[in-house]
């Protein structure tokens, strides 16, 4: 039997290169070898209080973009998280055995407390239990995610094992972060520090649907420095980040050309950024075309979502039935 895989992306806007290279490229490769569930994490996105119109629009974007990137709904179950209420039910049960101390220690929670001090809601605190419910509901063993999600996976194993111990069962298998590349991927942003993420600012992100003009503009404003002052010197973070981005979109010759220029102190950041932008445009072009095409076909989108919800619920209901019995919710 094929191993089960689960992963999702929050619909907080359009997908960026971080989502694409950190997660979606793995989804596309995995779909033929595993039993895959890829979802749109709309329940997770409620922590940021989107308006109903925004939420619906963002869910649509992610659905379109999953399909445009090559996730095949014939091979894979693509669904919207809120269409599977069993996830919310499992989240409730897992929360009963998730402790304040461990939730408060999560790095992503601490980051959110810092970045949005006016909205530290219980959904943010219990984000790892909802993520655990997403994975455990299908009893998945592999989760394709970027490096930023590693700690959440560890918490998922803790919650699953704790449930198993408490109810003397082996219902939940352990799941591990997965990537085809040797290490989990972290795509940097354009702001000189940190990862590409909408919460670090729109200008740190290159979106899959960005036009060539958008890409040229954003890359030309990317943070660099005054240039190297010694031969072969170590690059500062901002410059290293741009080289890391070049590694994912440019040819080996182009990269080594600019590495050489940097090491010889002859690099012109203007030329370097122009090349980076053009290579990003080329990498994005086929996906962007597909996004435009698929987004016109509402009937197709509706069919994909409906079919995915049915398949996901079938799997989720099997788990929830067992969970309810184990907990002691039994019919008289
Ligand atoms: P999120 O946008 O937090 O819902 O993340 C969705 C997926 O994209 C997760 O698997 C993340 O690990 C991945 N991801 C988001 N931003 C990045 C990034 N800058 N580098 C690598 N992976 C990322």
Six token digits for residue 81: 């998280």
The two beta strands, 77-80 and 35-40, are parallel
Is residue 112 part of the annotated active site? The answer reads yes
Q: Would 191 be classed as within a structural domain?
A: no
Same domain, 26 and 140: yes
pLDDT at 247 over 90: yes
Classify residue 139: in a domain, yes or no.
yes
Q: How many whole angstroms from 116 Cα to the centroid of ligand 1?
A: 19
| Band (201; pLDDT cuts 50, 70, 90) | confident
Q: Residue 14 has what DSSP assignment? A: S
The answer to whether 321 is a known catalytic residue is no
Edge-to-edge strands of the sheet including 35-40?
Answer: 77-80, 35-40, 4-9, 142-144, 176-178
Structure tokens, 63: 């659905």
Query: Which range marks the domain in which residue 284 is found?
Result: 198-292
pLDDT digits (tens, 9 = 90+) for 175-192: 999 988 878 889 999 998
Same domain, 31 and 90: yes
Residue 177 is predicted with a pLDDT of 94
Model confidence pLDDT, tens digit, residues 291-330: 999 999 999 999 999 999 999 999 999 999 999 999 999 8
Task: State the catalytic residue, choosing from 142, 198, 218, 273.
Answer: 198
Q: How confident is the model at residue 244 (pLDDT cuts 50, 70, 90)?
A: very high
Q: Which residue has the tokens 């943070």?
A: 223
Are 128 and 208 within one domain?
A: no
Average pLDDT over residues 40-54: 96
Say if pTM beats, i.e. exceeds, 0.85.
yes
Domain match, 42 and 171 both: yes
Residues 229 and 106 in one domain: no
Q: Which atom of ligand 1 is nearest the CA belonging to 41?
A: 4
The catalytically annotated residue of 14, 142, 195, 218 is 195
* Integer angstrom CA distances of residue 16 from 19, 22, 46, 107, 134: 5, 10, 20, 22, 22
Residue 38, classed as helix, strand or coil, is strand
Total structural domains within the chain? 2
The proportion of the chain whose per-residue pLDDT surpasses 70, expressed as a percent, equals 100
* Cβ atoms within 10 Å of 158's Cβ, excluding its own: 17
258 shares a domain with 126: no
Q: What is the CATH number of the domain that holds 165?
A: 3.40.50.620
Q: Are residues 156 and 219 in the same domain?
A: no
* pLDDT value at 163 more than 90: yes
Query: d(Cα 286, Cα 281) in Å, to the nearest integer?
Result: 10
60 inside domain: yes
């Amino acid at each position: 039997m094929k191993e089960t895989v689960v992963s999702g992306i929050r619909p907080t806007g359009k997908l960026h290169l971080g989502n694409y290279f950190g997660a979606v490229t793995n989804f596309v490769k995995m779909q033929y070898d595993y039993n895959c569930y890829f979802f749109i994490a709309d329940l997770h996105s409620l922590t940021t209080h989107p308006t109903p119109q925004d939420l619906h629009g963002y869910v649509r974007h992610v659905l379109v973009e999953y399909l445009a990137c090559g996730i095949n709904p014939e091979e894979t179950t693509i669904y919207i998280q809120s269409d599977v209420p069993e996830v919310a039910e499992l989240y409730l049960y897992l929360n009963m055995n998730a402790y304040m101390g461990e939730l408060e220690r999560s790095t992503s929670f601490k980051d959110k407390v810092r970045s949005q001090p006016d909205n530290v809601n219980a959904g943010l605190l219990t984000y790892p239990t909802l993520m655990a419910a997403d994975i455990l509901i299908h009893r998945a063993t592999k989760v394709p995610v970027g490096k930023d999600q590693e700690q959440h996976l560890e918490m998922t194993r803790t919650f699953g094992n704790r449930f198993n111990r408490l109810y003397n069962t082996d219902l939940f298998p352990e799941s591990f972060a997965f990537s085809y590349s040797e290490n989990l991927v972290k795509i940097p942003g354009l702001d000189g520090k940190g990862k590409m993420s909408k919460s670090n600012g729109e200008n740190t992100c290159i979106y899959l649907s960005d036009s060539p003009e958008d890409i040229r503009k954003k890359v030309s404003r990317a943070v660099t420095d005054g240039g190297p002052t010694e031969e072969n010197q170590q690059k500062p973070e901002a410059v290293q980040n741009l080289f890391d981005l070049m590694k994912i979109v440019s040819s080996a010759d182009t990269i080594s050309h600019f590495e050489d220029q940097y090491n010889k102190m002859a690099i012109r950041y203007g030329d370097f950024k122009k090349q980076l932008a053009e290579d990003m445009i080329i990498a994005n072009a086929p996906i962007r075309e597909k996004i435009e095409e698929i987004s016109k076909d509402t009937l197709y989108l509706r069919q994909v979502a409906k079919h995915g919800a049915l398949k996901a619920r079938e799997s989720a209901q099997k788990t929830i039935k067992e969970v309810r019995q184990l907990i002691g919710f039994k019919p008289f």
